[in-house]
């Protein structure tokens, strides 16, 4: 397959008027061609660093590596190329099992980049089971250091109230991505955690201390100091004005995440999280008391929603979903280059098509009414 006269948008910027040859599931060559008005845009596969489930499964309920690959497949069918499967706060036994299964699943699934442990060392539960939340112990730390060696990429969301600064430093020194979240900490405590090795904040604004002009909280600390922050752009988790504020204040740090749950890629309307029922209704996932419990969206839908909120074309918001997360995990820009796997998306006047191994697997039309 040859994509002729297309424009590439990746972590290195724009390359316009090129031909891309795809062979054996990889990019065989990229050569300069002729720029075409209205040409298609090719960009790297989307990267979602907060995926709690999909295809009817929550990560914590997975019993085999095949189950985790099912979650990946569900998100690939929704236009996402790479994920960090995410474990919502659970016991050490469940955490150890998920680490083992993820390591197995990664062996033959290149879309799995590692693992995200969202908890259990949290202070503000949100939709997490309060009974599962607890301080970090030395046994926990040992488990995480071993997991990093096995998985390559490991992200841990934690609340500064539940860990010590030396524990944060030990995680960071091992190459684990420490993200602050689910916390009522004040600005100074958050800054101390960032200084100790914290790099990002998990789903900015949600389940964390907010901004007051004399008490900036974790939101203020993240906007002031974090290398990156996740943001859920689904029209429910964060007010549109706050999406715009974050995008204007720190476009270099903004990273879209789906926070997707078991319903992703299905028509399921009800499922369980740690024994509690979650209802799916009108684009929202909620516990019985109305608490938001993850998001009913895809990463590509989030890209489109943020573009609408910012009144910008999707090509302006796409890097928030491929380059920023890829750089956070790898330290390198997301690139389309000779020899790379043919995991990319193509945007034209009609919509966006996602490719895996050079084969088209998903199409999302543009919402021209927005």
- Annotated catalytic residues are 259
On whether the CB atoms of residues 220 and 189 are closer than 8 A, the answer is no
Burial class for 194, CB neighbours closer than 10 Å (0-12, 13-18, 19+): buried
Please give the angle made by the CA atoms of 301, 72 and 291, to the nearest 5 degrees.
Answer: 55
Reduced 3-state DSSP string for the chain: CEEEEEEEEECCEEEEEEEEEEECCEEEEEEECCCCCCCCEEEECEEEEEECEECCEEHHHCCCHHHHHHHHHHHHCCCEEEEEEEEECCCHHHHHHHHHHHHHHHCCCCCECEEEEECCCCCCCCCCCHHHCCCCCHHHHHHHHHHHHHHCEEEEEECHHHCCHHHHHHHHHCCCEEEECCECCCHHHHHHHHHHCCCEECCCCCCECCCECCECHHHHHHHHHCCEEEECCCCCCCCHHHHHHHHHHCCCCEEECCCECCCCCCCCCEEEECCEEEEEECCEEECCCCCEEEECCCHHHHHHHHHHHHCCCHHHHCHHHHHHHHHHHHCCCCCCCCCCECCEEEECCCEEEEEECCEEEEEEECCCCC
Query: 187-196 vs 217-225: helix axis angle to the nearest 10?
Result: 40
Rounded distance between C-alpha atoms, residue 278 and residue 60, angstroms: 15
Tell me the two tokens of residue 120: 């259990």
């Amino acid at each position: 397959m040859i994509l002729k006269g297309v424009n590439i948008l990746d972590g290195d910027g724009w390359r316009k008027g090129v031909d891309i040859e795809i062979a054996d599931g990889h990019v065989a060559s990229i050569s300069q061609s002729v720029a075409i008005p209205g040409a298609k845009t090719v960009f790297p596969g989307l990267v979602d660093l907060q995926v709690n489930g999909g295809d009817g499964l929550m990560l914590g309920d997975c019993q085999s590596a095949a189950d985790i690959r099912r979650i990946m497949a569900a998100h690939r069918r929704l236009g996402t190329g790479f994920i960090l499967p995410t474990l919502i706060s659970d016991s050490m036994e469940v955490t150890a099992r998920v680490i083992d299964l993820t390591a197995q699943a990664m062996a033959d699934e290149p879309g799995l980049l590692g693992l995200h442990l969202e908890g259990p060392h949290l202070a503000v539960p949100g939709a997490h089971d309060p009974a599962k939340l607890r301080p970090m112990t030395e046994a926990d730390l040992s488990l995480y250091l071993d997991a990093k060696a096995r998985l390559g990429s490991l992200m841990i969301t934690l609340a500064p109230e539940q860990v010590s600064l030396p524990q944060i430093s030990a995680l960071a020194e091992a190459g684990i991505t420490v993200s602050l979240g689910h916390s009522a900490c004040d600005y100074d405590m958050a800054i101390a955690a960032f200084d100790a090795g914290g790099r990002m904040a998990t789903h900015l604004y949600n389940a964390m201390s907010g901004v007051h002009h004399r008490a900036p909280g974790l939101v203020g600390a993240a906007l002031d100091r974090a290398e990156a922050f996740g943001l859920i752009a689904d029209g429910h988790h964060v007010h549109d004005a706050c999406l715009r504020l974050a995008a204007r204040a720190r476009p270099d740090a903004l990273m879209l995440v789906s926070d997707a749950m078991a319903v992703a890629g299905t028509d399921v309307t009800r499922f369980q999280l740690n024994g509690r029922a979650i209802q799916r209704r009108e684009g929202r996932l909620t516990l019985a008391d109305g608490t938001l419990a993850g998001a009913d969206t895809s990463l590509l839908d989030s890209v489109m929603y943020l573009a609408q909120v910012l009144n910008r074309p999707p090509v302006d918001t796409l890097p928030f979903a491929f380059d920023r997360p890829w750089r956070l995990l790898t330290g390198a820009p997301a690139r389309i280059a000779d020899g790379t796997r043919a995991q990319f998306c193509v945007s034209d006047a009609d919509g966006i098509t996602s490719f895996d191994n050079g084969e088209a697997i998903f199409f999302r039309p543009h919402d021209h009414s927005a």
